[in-house]
Amino acid sequence: MSRESVLSTVEKVPYASSSLASAIERAGTLLQSGATDQIEGYRARFETLEGMYERVFERLIKSGFSSKSSRETAKLFFGTDRVSFAAVDGTDYARPLFDLVVFFGGSYAARGTISFPEEGPLAVDYEDHFLKSGRALSSCVPVYVNEVPEIDQSFIQPGEVSEISLTRPLTDEAIANNSTVANWIMTFSEFYLAYRLAREENGPRILLLDRSLATMLASLIYDTSRRKLWKTNGALVGLDVDSLQIDINDLALARHHLDNPALDLPPPRGDYLRYRILLEIERNGPLTLAALCPMLGIKEGDRQKRVERFLAKLVKEGFLEETVGTFTLKERYSKTWPRVRKLVETLGHRMFEEKPRQNPLQVVKKGEPHWLTTQDLAFLTLFSLNLLVEECWKKRILLLGLTKDTAARDFKNHVLPVMVSNKLWKTNLSQEQLSRIPNTDRMLLQTISVFNHESIHVPWSLTEYDSSFLMIVPDFERREGYVGGAIRNKITPERLFLKSYIQLSQTAYDPQLRSNVLLLDRLVYPEFDLRPEGAIKFAHSYGGADEPVRPIVFRDKEAKNSIQELVMTILGSMTSNSVPELFGHNKPLFIADKVAKWHNEEMRRMIDTTGKWLMNSPKLRHFVFYMSTFRERRSEIESARRDNF
């Protein structure tokens, strides 16, 4: 077709705007066809599940948990057959108020006790009057709207040091609606409250969080990874703690402070090798390269060269001092972790507990006020999580993370391919068949449970696997016994958290009508989880050397896993079918969520009332008129007009 004929055809196309009715009709058609296509696509994926239970999951899904066995494990783990528990959940809220944005975040704990009787089911008692006697932390922070982009790092241009992004709208409403400050206050409060509960003298021995512990740790490590911005975009560097200023090395050392020699943490591999070296020298005093390598379990020449390179870097970065081949930790860094603990407790107390004397999001550094940024809140949350893990290991507190709605796919995309390709699980499924099954782990397991309800008895749990599989993928060169890292060939620490999926309830009248599958992860306890049946060893080519990766995977339902059995009986006793919205979920977390929502509503009313009080104050009325936005004035006028009619 010639150019002229094409142009003449285009000219005949009408350019008149569609009517409102036709636009709505078109949107409805698009919505219907799009939804139908998606559902048909899922139906096709479900068809690939036929026979999947017998071929794969029959050996991996475990049910029939014993209360008697759980009682024996509870007495070994807790030292008693009656323990207290706490479930922590949070809430947040942000609202523009004249020329301010008010950020609110907090967390709340539902508490009780659980008993393991000689016979019969577990007995759970919940504390009453939790609004008066329950533990809660919250903070309300008013900030001028023009200062929010300085606090919220999400407004910073990626790759820049401190330039505000010009690609995002910076209207007052957009700043308030898109800011992450309230969410960070809430997140910090949750982990700080859990840490404070763990520190109590007679605190809970079971802690439940409405979050994935492993995913949260990986996310916090990522959120604090831009080392170039630590000093310029935060207020922590330079703060005085015990007459010493926090520096960049303090932050770097505390980010990965998960010290557990029994679990070989941090692992002496990858980027974690540098922190393990520092911990070994801190524990044992000055060391030579020859003395250090056996402590790290490193015998291979290429890996010893990596240790040598890291020692040189640590000297250059100011962590270590070298004297004739002997490396010593600088005195100031031998007290880094106690000082970081004090930093977290001081700022957490100021933000959530003490009577406010200044804006809780501000700190004084060198005589000048500075805003804590979202980067600082990410650091404080990460340190709180590390401190919480340390307390749980020390006091043997059962730490659980329970996630209701998750789009996680690491079991389907990582665990299955790695275990099958290394011939640790036997199946005739191809990678192509695996790619066609439902997109998320939760949907995959929920569908298998429904289709095989006669064989899979509720409550059930998938066998536990190491959370490091979040980053473990099959080897890029397809070598047996080797694995790769999902992002930049990096693998997160193994033997820290174990993950699983669980289903707790079904209806009495229809065994196919079952509760949602939940994601569960928990802390690893070396005395119970380091067993021969869970030990696996892979090789990982990284940094010019082949390093061992040793995750924990309970390979099938026959593998003895006493902590999993204990956890499942506990969670099974903490659910109820009588409350519809609690069906198959956790009652303590449900109570904490209800308290959080109640407090959120009260804070909304309080903030709204404050705005009305300011608007009607005779002394402030004229000044407030100019502080309020056009939308606020219009809303007030429209509301008054409606009230008059």
The DSSP secondary-structure symbol of 575 reads: -
**In terms of Cα–Cα distance, which of 186, 185, 188, 208 is closest to 198?**
208
Identify the sign of the CA torsion 560, 561, 562, 564: negative
CA separation for the pair 481, 142 (Å, rounded): 55
Question: What residues are paired with 328 via a beta bridge?
Answer: 321
Identity at 460, one-letter amino acid code: W
H or E segment and range at residue 345: helix 336-352
Residues of the chain where predicted confidence (pLDDT) is lower than 50: 6-7, 9-10, 13, 15, 160-162, 164-166
Scanning the structure block, which residue is given the tokens 């096709």? 44
Q: Where are the alpha helices (DSSP H) in 99-162?
A: 130-133, 148-151
Q: Using alpha carbons only, how large is the chain's radius of gyration in Å?
A: 28
Helix, strand, coil content of the chain in percent (nearest 5): 50, 20, 30
CA separation for the pair 448, 442 (Å, rounded): 10
CA separation for the pair 431, 434 (Å, rounded): 5
CA separation for the pair 136, 193 (Å, rounded): 8
Number of H helices and E strands in the chain, helices first, is 24, 22
The DSSP secondary-structure symbol of 514 reads: B
Domains and CATH numbers, the chain: 240-337 (1.10.10.10), 407-575 (no CATH), 596-644 (no CATH)
For the CA atoms of 237, 239, 244, 249, the dihedral, rounded to the nearest 10 degrees, stands at: -20
Q: Give the tens place of pLDDT for each residue, 599-625.
A: 888 888 887 776 665 555 555 555 555
Question: Residue 31: how many CA atoms within 13 Å on its side-chain side?
Answer: 6
Scanning the structure block, which residue is given the tokens 């890292």? 485
Tokens describing residue 52: 């999947």
**Which pLDDT score is estimated for 630?**
52
Give, rounded to a whole angstrom, the gap between the first and last alpha carbons of the chain: 65
- Asked if residue 327 lies in contact with residue 315, where contact means CB atoms within 8 angstroms, the answer is yes
The DSSP secondary-structure symbol of 578 reads: S
**Which pLDDT score is estimated for 588?**
93
What single string gives the DSSP state of each residue in 586-609? -HHHHHHHHHHHHHHHHHHHHHHH
What single string gives the DSSP state of each residue in 95-121? EEETTEEEEEEEEEEEEEEEE--SSSS
- Asked if residue 559 lies in contact with residue 534, where contact means CB atoms within 8 angstroms, the answer is yes
CB atoms near residue 369 (< 10 Å): 11
Scanning the structure block, which residue is given the tokens 């017998």? 54
**Which pLDDT score is estimated for 467?**
96
